[in-house]
Amino acid sequence: MSSIAYSRVRAACEAADRDPDSVVLSAMVGVLVADSESEMRDRLDRQLAFFGGGASSADEWLAERQDRWIMGTPEQARLRIEEFAAGGVQRIMLQDFLPHDLEMVSLLGRIVAG
């Protein structure tokens, strides 16, 4: 979520004599959400297996992505989406690395539908 990058897009539009508001500002954002701590730990373990990390690096893995991803409980996810919107994001694409986890896909639907 870089408002600096969006500022550069706006400046480039203006330099090209294009209306900056004609460009939709989007972000592809990784997601990892759960209703409970145990469910989150399970998803995190599967996520680490997908990326090739070990359980000992879980906190480090989370910390590295905290500023870029939508993670946590449904409420934390909603707040994070609002942060992206406040930063200028007009369209957000949720990048799910656990697509076979249909419970998380359903949870994401409930979060976004509000």
Residue 1, both tokens:
């979520």
75 within a domain of the structure (yes/no): yes
Which pLDDT does position 2 carry in this prediction?
61
Find out whether 92 and 81 touch, Cβ atoms under 8 Å. yes
10 within a domain of the structure (yes/no): no
72 within a domain of the structure (yes/no): yes
93 within a domain of the structure (yes/no): yes
102 within a domain of the structure (yes/no): yes
| Average pLDDT over the chain, rounded to an integer | 90
57 within a domain of the structure (yes/no): yes
Which pLDDT does position 74 carry in this prediction?
95
How far is Cα 42 from Cα 17, in angstroms, rounded to an integer?
A: 50
6 within a domain of the structure (yes/no): no
Query: pTM here?
Result: 0.83
Interval 48-60: pLDDT, tens: 888 876 556 788 8
**Range 11-23 burial, b when 16+ CB lie within 10 A, else e:** eeeeeeeeeeeee
More confident residue, 114 or 93: 93
Range of the domain at 70: 24-113
Which pLDDT does position 1 carry in this prediction?
55
Which pLDDT does position 106 carry in this prediction?
94
Interval 65-108: pLDDT, tens: 988 999 999 999 999 999 999 988 999 999 999 989 999 999 99
The tally of domains found in the chain comes to 1
How far is Cα 110 from Cα 7, in angstroms, rounded to an integer?
A: 32
19 within a domain of the structure (yes/no): no
Which pLDDT does position 76 carry in this prediction?
94
